[in-house]
Structure 1
Amino acid sequence: MASNNQIKFSIAGRVATHLGRNLYSSNPPALAELVANSYDAYATRVDIKLSNREIYIIDNGKGMSLDEIEHKYAIIGIEKQIEESFNNLSERAPMGQKGIGKLAAFSLGGKYKVYTKTLSSKQWLTFELVYDDFIKDEITHSVDYNFVDDLPCELRDYAKYKSGFIVKIDDLIRNSRNAYENLSIQLSRRFYIASHIDKFQVFLNGEEVDLLTHEYYKNIEFLVYFGYNEEEINDMFPNIDKTKKVKYDTNSKDLKDYFEKNKGLKGWFGSVLTPGQLQTKDYNFNSTVVYINKKIADENIFKNSGSARMANQYLVGEVHADFLLDILQVPITSSRDGLDQSNEYVEEFIEILGKIRNKFAELWTNFRQKEAVLKLPDFIRENESYKKWLDGLSDDKREMNEKMLALLINKSFADQSEGIQKNEIQNIVSSIVRTVDNIEFSEIQKSLSSIDMIDKNYVKLINKLMSKIGRSEEINIFELVKERIAAINELKRMMEENNTLESFFNNHLHKHPWLINPHWNQDLNASTSFEITKNRYLKAIDKNNKLKKNYIDLLIKVAEEPYPIIVELKKNTPTGHANVTTGVMIDQIRKYKDAVMQSDSSLKMIDSRDIKVYFIISEDAGVNGANTIEFRKDDMEVFKSYNIEVIKYNMLIERAYRSYADFINIINKEKNIPNFT
């Protein structure tokens, strides 16, 4: 025993640097090592208290006597002895080895103070370790110790402990609160302890840390397990239907010997609906963790096993491999490095797990495809036209549909907001319908090219090809109609908002000129033949021989009309009203027609009355402050004589609905094409 109340610590080879500060690159693994020491000391409660200035790790375990401090704690690298059971607790397999966990405190701060007490002692033994003292070029370093009757005031809540071990860490390396975000989640990931069975609880700033289950457990929808019995796995995942929990056959030829030789190997691979369910702001649980004696030994055992399988994006796994501790004969720490994958036993272990993971990926793919339609929103899944379309699919097309749904729906839209999700899933499903419906095109064309003579089979293929082409055209027409219905709905929405500016109407009609006259391009098989300019300035010489600029809202050329069409918009605001008297309108249109005719030499000889004009006014247009407008019968006759059609926006909407409703009604009646509109 050291004289003068001193303890000699072994510091040779800069162990505090290599096995302390450099071994742990963040707080969670370092704290996990200190918690593991408390577990090995048969503590039933550990309190972790964090602030920007200091860290406390406090347990009610066996504590250590001065003799144990000198011959166990102060010597680094000796084989850790199994502690005798304490306080009638069941025997615990030790998490730590070689006594290196204590040095984890140096990866958190520059110094730490210890308070410890055993049942046989009435006083607390205390000493302080400083990192700078442990990196000297010496073999040992002596540290002063004292016995005290009471704990400091900040630890008075723990003075009642009959035994225990307290570590206070100062001069923190990471003194920002950001270093502690998600710490509870990460700590829970590093242990697999049932507090009610093991009688071991961890509290982080007063809140209990769940060391048995994780937040993502509730999101797992399919899993493959091994080593567990059915009752155990059902207790762990009561939320998953039994048909979605598959037991892997470890008695298969390639695994039987390995599992018989390495008793106790158990684990599971599970999948979630979306990768986002395995992520927090700062942490990703998308990995397979390996535990040894209930403490994490490797955060991601497959980190060096590259795989492009999509299943891995949705996968999480937990494996218990206590047998590796005796085989490897090396310290298992909570550092990020994990198990030594160059070791032949670890290589074999990863190979065995890889076979189970591959089987999981195969089963998961089949499960996901079968579930694809069931995962669709109700407004699609319960749609009568969609159900009829599904019923009519061949087995090959049904499989293709399920594969495409599984690939696109879950990955692209499950994390988006409800509004975006509904709209975009609808579009994706419609695209899948078109793709599946036309999947036979290439096969039919290939068959036709291989036929040398016209016979019954040739005629049958020709008829089938023509049917497919007709079907494709029908779908394309239907999709175009849906787009136009959406444009009508948008115009209606704009009208219902009184403060919509005229420029928005101008832009909308510029994009959808058929709203003005639904008969333009009514043949949906024809390509669009609009020429349209917006806010067109045209110069013209007036009757007084003066050059004037004329600002035309829309000027349209369309195949169905021989001459350009002038469109003038009047959209009133709640505080101002357009001047729409008959005289003003006639005079304004006359100037526009002159400008159009003077700008195009081919129009100079025509009668200006041949140029069609649409005067579109809002429902609240009026004269002298009135909120409605009603032209007299003789006014309408004058407009007609000038080839001017006066239309209110609500008339545009009603006329467009009537025109395109016929298409929708026909397709709805046939129910050959899924319609989600």
Structure 2
Amino acid sequence: MSDSPYKMQLDLRVLDHLGLHLYSNAAAVLSEAVANAWDADAKNVSIKIDKDRIVIEDDGVGMALNDINDRFLYVGYDKRQKEGAKSPGGRAFMGRKGIGKLALFSIADVVAVITTKGSEHHAFRMETKGIEAAVSRNEEYKPVPTNDEPPSKGTRIILTQLKKKRTSQTVNALRKRIARRFSIIGIKSENGDSFDVRINDLAIGPADREDFKAIEFLWEFEPSERIPAGFCPGLKKRFLLPNQISVIRPDWIVGGWLGAASRPKKLASEDAGLMNGLVVIARGRLIQENILDKLGFNMLLGNYLTGQIEANFLDVESEEDIATSDRQRLMEDDERYVALRDFLRKTLVSISDDWTKLRNEARGKEAVEETPILGEWIDNLPEGQRDAARRTLGVILGVELESEEDRKDLYRSGMLAFERLRLKDASHNLGNLPALTAESLLPLLADLSMLEGSMYRDIVRARLDVIVKFEDLVDVDAKEKVLQAHLFENLWLLDPGWERAAGSERIEQTLKRDYKDFAADLTDDESKGRLDIRYKTNAGEHIIVELKRAGRPMKLVELQEQGQKYRTALAKCLKAEGNENPLISIIFVLGSPVAEEEESYLPAGYVTNTLQPLNARVMYYDQLIKSARDAYAEYLDRSKQVDRIDKFLSKLK
């Protein structure tokens, strides 16, 4: 409508967004050059990189003058629309948007192009400053002709005035990253077509793919060409997966593979970057850098996953182009993308359980190889339980830990847990027997006794370690702080028989509320140097423990007076609870001896006998530690018969 008051204009500065500043790394930019060489039917591409320049040369069809002006310098030239879906050599075109050549300016300010097609030779230079000047004047940009020596065939591109931050990747890193961006490099097709890419004279191939080297388990979509086993030196098992993603659209099929690494850390390296993800390939070239992040898949397998999904249906001429401008991502609202995403999520869910089992079995074998005593333990289990035990060890080996000593502790805990579950299952099965006999019962009781013994010995050893550390404390104030922090939660320090001593918050709060002697705000004189006081119960016994300050001297009469008050108050409190004749014990923990114990004229045991009517006793900081040590050490000394389980656990130390 010529009389419309509206008009649209396109500022040439859009070039900045479409190419000059679209790419952020050299691997992506060089991939555009490699893709252009493929479209030009090149069989060989050479990339040479040194400190100040990059030279890209191919042996493709080259360009005549009309190719340069009407195609190469035509920003937005759609070769598929103008030339068809395939090159003269029968290759499916990778390019589509016609802006890939601008990517070169993302890493260099000067781009020289020298090309030969038949007998025609052309050479010219383009500079970022010149393009930007032409854009600012809204004029067409005219490259400068040069006299560079032309190749005998194909095209040579020379990049200079490199942007160092974007070209800082090493040659080795570029090799590895470009290798993951194409599925056609270094592999001959069925019709004999080959496409070789070299960087500094070394061919890029599957050996440059670090993801292949990390793979332990492999799933391939049928009927894709199978990855040679030699590419994956750590491969343990491989599987086939269905390739059709939609019943409604039978032409929507995928190829490629999914791989699970043995360790997440194997999917990251300084050169290859992060490989924990799934790249999507269309027409032999990357079209989505990582679709795994878009799947909403949060199971453990996701941390171990790498792979390449080949989905040519995403990039066909008859359908809308869904690639973003840099061809590194896809439009996420397109039905093809949605279908692929849902298919991949379901696929990962379907293989996750199998992978967990496979992984644990593989780690279990490794655990036995690394720690032979674990194998001895497994060999002593009933045959039907060995695989499950191996998987248990596999789970532990699969945990990422900083210290291998921590892993040994996990092995010990895992073995004990497995033995408990094993006995639980055995008990359950025993209860289902039609007739219980001594022959069926005695082995179970023997195993149960050994398990309990092993677990208790672990507890005793741990407690002895605590006691030894406490004994190493020389400073009285330090001992006082440690006791205050841990005594009331670990009454085994006072009496090894108090394994399950527990508190009653209700009764303790009642005592503190209704009886002054239990209050927390007493004066120092009123509390007689008291540091803390608690109420505990154990097997029907009601216990009051008072921890005195280490430096406060005490007299027997003071302890008698306080003990009687505590006893009377607690008895009243328990009577209100319905307990008429409670068994009450009182323990005073002191830092220094009672004054009367220093009096030589008093008979031995005077303090103990005087407090006996109150069922009260005195213990000293050092004495209680020594008593606990002696009691537990005696248990270990008398436990001379090392049982089956403890034999294995002790060798893990």
Provide TM-score, normalisation by structure 1.
0.61
Q: Residues 223 and 270 of structure 1 are in contact (CA less than 8 Å); yes or no, is this contact kept in structure 2? A: yes
SS at match of 1:57: strand
Aligned match of 1:318: 308
User: Are 2:340 and 1:349 aligned?
Assistant: yes
User: Are 2:623 and 1:666 aligned?
Assistant: no
SS at match of 1:177: coil
Equivalent-residue separation in structure 2 for 1:304 and 1:180 (angstroms)? 31
Deviation of the 1:298 alpha carbon: 0.5
Q: Which amino acid is the alignment partner of residue 276 of structure 1?
A: K
Structure 1 residues 391 and 60, CA gap change in structure 2 (3 angstroms) = same
User: Are 2:367 and 1:376 aligned?
Assistant: yes
Q: Which amino acid is the alignment partner of residue 604 of structure 1?
A: E
Q: Residues 255 and 309 of structure 2 are in contact (CA less than 8 Å); yes or no, is this contact kept in structure 1? A: yes
Q: Residues 96 and 332 of structure 1 are in contact (CA less than 8 Å); yes or no, is this contact kept in structure 2? A: no
Deviation of the 1:285 alpha carbon: 0.6
Structure 1 residues 377 and 238, CA gap change in structure 2 (3 angstroms) = closer
Structure 1 segments unaligned to the other structure (5+ residues): 1-9, 152-158, 447-455, 492-502, 512-520, 528-596, 611-655
Q: Deviations over 1:17-37 (max 9, x none)?
A: 121134323222122112211
Q: Deviations over 1:566-613 (max 9, x none)?
A: xxxxxxxxxxxxxxxxxxxxxxxxxxxxxxx99874553469xx9xxx
Deviation of the 1:299 alpha carbon: 1.1
Aligned match of 1:358: 349
Q: Which amino acid is the alignment partner of residue 400 of structure 2?
A: S
Structure 1 residues 524 and 55, CA gap change in structure 2 (3 angstroms) = farther
Equivalent-residue separation in structure 2 for 1:173 and 1:673 (angstroms)? 57
Equivalent-residue separation in structure 1 for 2:459 and 2:304 (angstroms)? 36
User: Are 2:70 and 1:56 aligned?
Assistant: no
SS at match of 1:114: strand
Aligned match of 1:533: none
Equivalent-residue separation in structure 2 for 1:477 and 1:34 (angstroms)? 69
Equivalent-residue separation in structure 1 for 2:496 and 2:91 (angstroms)? 77
Equivalent-residue separation in structure 2 for 1:268 and 1:169 (angstroms)? 39
Counterparts of 1:89-488 in structure 2, within 5 Å, are: 91-121=90-120, 123-130=121-128, 133-134=131-132, 136=135, 140-146=139-145, 148=147, 150-151=148-149, 161-170=152-161, 172=163, 174=165, 177=168, 182-195=173-186, 197=188, 198-210=193-205, 214-228=209-223, 234=229, 237=232, 240-241=235-236, 244-250=237-243, 258=249, 260-262=250-252, 265-281=254-270, 283-326=273-316, 328-330=319-321, 332=323, 335=326, 337-378=328-369, 380-381=371-372, 383=374, 385-388=376-379, 390-391=381-382, 399=388, 401=389, 404-413=392-401, 420-421=403-404, 423-439=405-421, 470-471=449-450, 473-479=452-458
Equivalent-residue separation in structure 2 for 1:144 and 1:213 (angstroms)? 37
SS at match of 1:222: strand
Structure 1 residues 465 and 602, CA gap change in structure 2 (3 angstroms) = farther
Q: Residues 277 and 292 of structure 2 are in contact (CA less than 8 Å); yes or no, is this contact kept in structure 1? A: yes
User: Are 2:68 and 1:69 aligned?
Assistant: yes
Q: Residues 32 and 334 of structure 1 are in contact (CA less than 8 Å); yes or no, is this contact kept in structure 2? A: no
Q: Residues 267 and 318 of structure 1 are in contact (CA less than 8 Å); yes or no, is this contact kept in structure 2? A: yes
Deviation of the 1:11 alpha carbon: 8.7
Deviation of the 1:139 alpha carbon: 5.8
Q: Residues 119 and 163 of structure 1 are in contact (CA less than 8 Å); yes or no, is this contact kept in structure 2? A: no
Deviation of the 1:294 alpha carbon: 1.2
Deviation of the 1:92 alpha carbon: 2.4
Deviation of the 1:316 alpha carbon: 0.9
Equivalent-residue separation in structure 2 for 1:664 and 1:111 (angstroms)? 83
Equivalent-residue separation in structure 1 for 2:454 and 2:383 (angstroms)? 16
Equivalent-residue separation in structure 1 for 2:472 and 2:90 (angstroms)? 76
Deviation of the 1:246 alpha carbon: 1.2
Q: Which amino acid is the alignment partner of residue 256 of structure 2?
A: G
Structure 1 residues 142 and 384, CA gap change in structure 2 (3 angstroms) = closer
Aligned match of 1:530: none
Equivalent-residue separation in structure 1 for 2:358 and 2:444 (angstroms)? 34
Equivalent-residue separation in structure 2 for 1:660 and 1:334 (angstroms)? 73
Aligned match of 2:502: none
SS at match of 1:30: helix
SS at match of 1:165: strand
Q: Residues 45 and 59 of structure 2 are in contact (CA less than 8 Å); yes or no, is this contact kept in structure 1? A: yes
Structure 1 residues 196 and 404, CA gap change in structure 2 (3 angstroms) = closer
Equivalent-residue separation in structure 2 for 1:77 and 1:271 (angstroms)? 40
Deviation of the 1:219 alpha carbon: 2.5
Q: Which amino acid is the alignment partner of residue 104 of structure 2?
A: A
Q: Residues 41 and 91 of structure 2 are in contact (CA less than 8 Å); yes or no, is this contact kept in structure 1? A: yes
Equivalent-residue separation in structure 2 for 1:669 and 1:112 (angstroms)? 73
Structure 1 residues 177 and 250, CA gap change in structure 2 (3 angstroms) = closer
SS at match of 2:275: coil
Aligned match of 2:528: none
Deviation of the 1:248 alpha carbon: 1.7
Deviation of the 1:286 alpha carbon: 0.7
* Fraction of identical pairs, as percent: 22
Deviation of the 1:239 alpha carbon: 5.5
Deviation of the 1:272 alpha carbon: 0.9
Deviation of the 1:84 alpha carbon: 8.2
Equivalent-residue separation in structure 2 for 1:168 and 1:324 (angstroms)? 32
Deviation of the 1:222 alpha carbon: 1.0
Structure 1 residues 190 and 131, CA gap change in structure 2 (3 angstroms) = farther
Aligned match of 1:616: none
Q: Which amino acid is the alignment partner of residue 317 of structure 1?
A: G
Q: Deviations over 1:423-445 (max 9, x none)?
A: 33322111112223334899999
Q: Residues 374 and 381 of structure 1 are in contact (CA less than 8 Å); yes or no, is this contact kept in structure 2? A: no
Q: Deviations over 1:128-154 (max 9, x none)?
A: 242562472566513144252x44xxx
